Amino acid sequence: MTDAERTTTDRGSAEGGRAQRRGLVRRLREIVGDRHVLTDPADVVVYEQDGSILQVLPEVVVLPASTSEVAAVVGAAREANVPIVPRGSGTGLAGGAVPAEGGVVVSLARMTRIREVDLRGRIAVAEAGVINLDVTRAVAGQGYFYAPDPSSQAACSIGGNVANNSGGPHTLAYGVTTNHVLGLEVVLGDGTVTWLGGRVPDPPGYDLTGVFVGSEGTLGIVTAAALRLMRAREAVRTLLAIFDRMDDATDVVVQITAAGIVPAALEMMDRTTIEAVETGAPAGYPRDAEAVLLVEVEGVREYAERAAELARQICVRGGAREVRVARDEAERQRLWKGRKGAFGALGALAPHYYVQDGVVPRSRLPQVMREIAEIGRRYGLRIANVFHAGDGNLHPNILFDMRAPGQLERVIAAGGDILRACVAAGGSITGEHGIGLEKKAYMDLLFSPADLDAMARVRRVFDPDGRFNPAKMFPTPITCAEMRRAPAAIPAGLWI
């Protein structure tokens, strides 16, 4: 446990806490208006969970509408000595927006203004609550787009993307969020508002913007971001390859990238996932296939055509039983349909699933996929794999039924084994979902005490009181009790 966390543990149980809380709520209402401070259980209960299966009920939820309101809210929380937990759309998959130690949840959902679009400079300045897809919508007509595209992009917010350093299928070609954030407006622990970074990439001095991206709300609250816009690609080519052997499919992934093609997306689904898709929302995949690979290439017309043809040849040579090539946008959408609906379809096979987010070097994919299958066999659990094969970002979904006695323990143990296998293969414990509550127990697989201490020191620089999103990121073991707080069924429309 870090110093910062230690100071927060005792908080809230002080004498007169109740009276103090009433004072805090009054103060918050003054700042944002009565309507935007929620304390009624029926209101706050919906903020006890994000896209993960972890739950903690907040004491008060506040929805400021401007940066100055956020700053005032932070000041009020500091005076009341309670934790602050920022939250965007709550689509995160690691419990990062769950108020682990109570306190004030600050929802940025009302800060939805796109303050500026500068197409010549290729920059958009968006507030934290702006929905990811809305940035692209605002500039698509002029031929631009915002590249990071987490599967939740129709719902997740820019602030949340920044907090988690989100990726997406097209990360392979364009990189994750940190590569697309030029500057950030942040509210720090003492209530000051400051801009980090600027409007040009790689400014001099320390890369404070880079520290904030991916810090999961533990350093301060991001209220706005200067985002890099990209020129829309002239041409897109999509193809889908069906394999009888998982090893062939993973080999093809390695070969495609080795051939010098950088696909915009390179997505894989295994047999269990295919079965779920064909049961839940049929996409026309053969049920007896072992793997389906989706390849998308884009760029200038000449390149996209040539690269798609090369990729097709590699798939055929690599043992694909069938390769389908989309001839138009409608066909392209059909090819993507199964992939986009895959997570929702998993409900057709089991009432619960626990998604992991490991990363391995691309070259180790075939080996790690075999190890995951072996872990599934060892624990007697079905594991469905849907993942970003191109950048080695795995999403093994452990299917289970929480009501069956002893299953949850096995699931947690299997999840841990999968992450250990990823780390042993030179990989990491999260590709794009963040650490939050869920993964913090595994941080010491990756980092030594000295590494974690270095991070803790950085945290103290920005947040000496440990007030922002306490008990996240830094390792303490996750327990079954935390997991058991999960609801009985997975909500529909989970995005991964």
* Residues 196 to 215 in contact with another protein, rule: CB under 8 A: 196, 198-208, 210-211, 213-215
- CB distance 266 to 259 below 8 Å: no
Q: How many residues bind another protein (CB under 8 A)?
A: 78
- The yes or no reply on residue 195 touching another protein (CB under 8 A) is yes
Compute the distance between CA of residue 105 and CA of residue 102 in angstroms, rounded to an integer.
8
- The yes or no reply on residue 194 touching another protein (CB under 8 A) is yes
Residues 6+ apart with CB under 8 A from 357: 93, 94, 393, 394, 395, 429, 430, 431, 432, 433, 439
- The yes or no reply on residue 429 touching another protein (CB under 8 A) is yes
Site for another protein in 381-410 (CB under 8 A): 391-392
Cα–Cα distances in Å, from 496 out to 11, 57, 73, 76? 34, 24, 31, 35
Exactly one of 78, 113, 447, 476 binds another protein (CB under 8 A); that residue is: 447
Q: Can you spell out the DSSP letters for 105-171?
A: EEE-TT---EEEEETTTTEEEEETTSBHHHHHHHHHTTTEE-----TTTTT-BHHHHHHHT---TTH
Nearest approach, Cβ of residue 47 and another protein (Å): 24
Compute the distance between CA of residue 119 and CA of residue 338 in angstroms, rounded to an integer.
34
* Pairing verdict, β 104-107 and 84-87: parallel
| Binding segment toward another protein, per CB under 8 A, in 149-157, 283-291, 318-326, 445-453 | 445-453
DSSP 294: E
Our CB check for another protein shows the closer of 46 and 461 to be: 461
- The yes or no reply on residue 430 touching another protein (CB under 8 A) is yes
Compute the distance between CA of residue 32 and CA of residue 47 in angstroms, rounded to an integer.
18
Residue with token string 């052997």: 245
Measured over the CA atoms of residue 340, residue 341, residue 344 and residue 345, the dihedral's sign is negative
Nearest approach, Cβ of residue 215 and another protein (Å): 6
| Binding segment toward another protein, per CB under 8 A, in 241-249, 338-346, 378-386, 427-435 | 427-435
Our CB check for another protein shows the closer of 37 and 471 to be: 471
| Binding segment toward another protein, per CB under 8 A, in 67-75, 130-138, 171-179, 478-486 | 171-179
Exactly one of 439, 490, 494, 495 binds another protein (CB under 8 A); that residue is: 439
- The yes or no reply on residue 473 touching another protein (CB under 8 A) is yes
Our CB check for another protein shows the closer of 32 and 74 to be: 74
Our CB check for another protein shows the closer of 426 and 487 to be: 426
- CB distance 304 to 235 below 8 Å: yes
Site for another protein in 120-139 (CB under 8 A): 120-121
Nearest approach, Cβ of residue 256 and another protein (Å): 12
Nearest approach, Cβ of residue 300 and another protein (Å): 5
Exactly one of 87, 180, 312, 362 binds another protein (CB under 8 A); that residue is: 362
- The yes or no reply on residue 231 touching another protein (CB under 8 A) is yes
Compute the distance between CA of residue 62 and CA of residue 111 in angstroms, rounded to an integer.
12
Residue with token string 């999961």: 216
- The yes or no reply on residue 476 touching another protein (CB under 8 A) is no
- CB distance 240 to 309 below 8 Å: no
Nearest approach, Cβ of residue 435 and another protein (Å): 5
Residues 6+ apart with CB under 8 A from 264: 169, 170, 172, 173, 174, 233, 236, 296, 297, 298
Exactly one of 258, 348, 424, 489 binds another protein (CB under 8 A); that residue is: 258
Nearest approach, Cβ of residue 176 and another protein (Å): 5
Our CB check for another protein shows the closer of 219 and 381 to be: 219
Our CB check for another protein shows the closer of 141 and 260 to be: 260
Site for another protein in 20-79 (CB under 8 A): none
Alpha-carbon Rg for the chain, nearest whole angstrom, is 23
- The yes or no reply on residue 361 touching another protein (CB under 8 A) is yes
- CB distance 402 to 408 below 8 Å: yes
Exactly one of 19, 450, 481, 488 binds another protein (CB under 8 A); that residue is: 450
Our CB check for another protein shows the closer of 192 and 333 to be: 192
- The yes or no reply on residue 191 touching another protein (CB under 8 A) is no
Phi/psi for 49 (5° steps) reads -145, 155
Exactly one of 11, 271, 332, 459 binds another protein (CB under 8 A); that residue is: 459
Map residues 273-302 to x or -, x wherever contact with another protein holds by CB under 8 A.
Answer: --------------------------xx-x
* Pairing verdict, β 60-62 and 104-107: parallel
Work out the number of other CB atoms within 10 angstroms of the CB of residue 299: 18
Our CB check for another protein shows the closer of 199 and 321 to be: 199
- The yes or no reply on residue 307 touching another protein (CB under 8 A) is yes
- The yes or no reply on residue 1 touching another protein (CB under 8 A) is no
- Amino acid letter, residue 348: A
The pair of structure tokens assigned to 475 is 């390792």
Nearest approach, Cβ of residue 422 and another protein (Å): 8
